[in-house]
């Protein structure tokens, strides 16, 4: 559960110190939807991971560390993309630019997808699922992917509409696929 907690601590810190939002607030109905989703899955996943009959990963420490490595690399990738996106928008403006890779190698995913922050987040949750070998964690990753894919397709469509020179080879969230 340390990884779960670290992910959301990172997210809170990014909200406070990294993100520059184009909208000042979120609709109130989203508060109830988001809290139900996150709290529900937190309870669901933690119940199974902390259950006395929980079975550790079948491949032992190899599976645990492979999942942890994937989780940590993807969390760093997600953070790197958030920094790159922040740097595209000057403080206090709603200006938008085409996201491009920076000198940070984690941003190279911009060559292939419009929303690599979502790609990395899904990768982190797949790493968590691998590390815990827990079906509810995989269901959380799939539910997150479905939602982020919808958001990514919308952002991808808007980029292509708003920027005539937008790179044609990019897909929304999964390189060469979606």
Instruction: Quote the number of domains for the chain.
Output: 1
Q: What is the pLDDT of residue 177?
A: 95
Query: Per mean pLDDT, which range of 11-15, 69-73, 100-104, 148-152 is the poorest?
Result: 11-15
Count other Cβ atoms within 10 Å, centred on residue 165.
Answer: 6
Residue 108 lies in a domain: yes
* HEC per residue, 89-143: CCCCCCCCCCCCCCCCHHHHHHHCECCHHHHHHHHHHHHHHHHHCCHHHHHHHHH
Residue 105 lies in a domain: yes
Q: What is the pLDDT of residue 1?
A: 74
If phi > 0 it is left, if psi is from -120 to 50 it is alpha, else beta; for residue 156 that is alpha
Residue 169 lies in a domain: no
pLDDT digits (tens, 9 = 90+) for 117-128: 999 999 999 999
Region 14-43 average pLDDT? 81
Please give the share of the chain, as a percent, with pLDDT higher than 90.
71
C-alpha to C-alpha distance for 101 and 124, rounded to whole angstroms: 20
Confidence at 16, pLDDT banded by 50, 70, 90 = confident
Residue 178 lies in a domain: no
Please give the share of the chain, as a percent, with pLDDT higher than 70.
96
**Residue 116, CA distances (Å) to 3, 13, 41, 64, 81 in order:** 20, 19, 23, 25, 7
> Helix, strand, or coil here: 54?
coil
Confidence at 93, pLDDT banded by 50, 70, 90 = confident
* Closest to 111 measured CA to CA, from 36, 58, 169: 169
Region 70-93 average pLDDT? 91
Query: Per mean pLDDT, which range of 22-26, 64-68, 164-168 is the poorest?
Result: 22-26
Q: What is the pLDDT of residue 90?
A: 80
Q: Which residue shows structure tokens 């990294």?
A: 18
Q: What is the pLDDT of residue 13?
A: 86
Q: What is the pLDDT of residue 95?
A: 81
Kindly report the pTM of this predicted structure. 0.91
pLDDT at 25 over 70: no
Confidence at 59, pLDDT banded by 50, 70, 90 = very high
* Domain span holding position 100: 2-11+30-51+62-162
Residue 150 lies in a domain: yes
Q: What is the pLDDT of residue 17?
A: 74
Residue 23 lies in a domain: no
């Amino acid at each position: 559960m340390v990884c779960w907690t670290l992910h959301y601590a990172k997210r809170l810190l990014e909200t406070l110190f990294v993100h520059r939002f184009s909208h000042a607030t979120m609709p109130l109905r989203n508060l109830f939807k988001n809290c139900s989703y996150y709290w529900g899955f937190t309870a669901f996943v933690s119940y199974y991971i902390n259950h006395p009959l929980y079975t550790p990963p079948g491949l032992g420490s190899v599976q645990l560390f492979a999942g942890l490595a994937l989780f940590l690399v993807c969390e760093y990738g997600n953070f790197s993309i958030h920094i790159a996106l922040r740097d595209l928008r000057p403080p206090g403006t709603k200006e938008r630019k085409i996201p491009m890779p920076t000198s940070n190698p984690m941003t190279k995913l911009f060559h292939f997808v419009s929303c690599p922050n979502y790609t990395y987040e899904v990768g982190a949750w797949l790493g968590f699922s691998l590390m815990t070998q827990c079906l509810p964690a995989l269901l959380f990753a799939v539910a997150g992917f479905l939602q982020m894919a919808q958001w990514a397709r919308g952002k991808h469509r808007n980029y292509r509409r708003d920027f005539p020179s937008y790179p044609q080879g990019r897909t929304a969230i999964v390189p060469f696929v979606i």
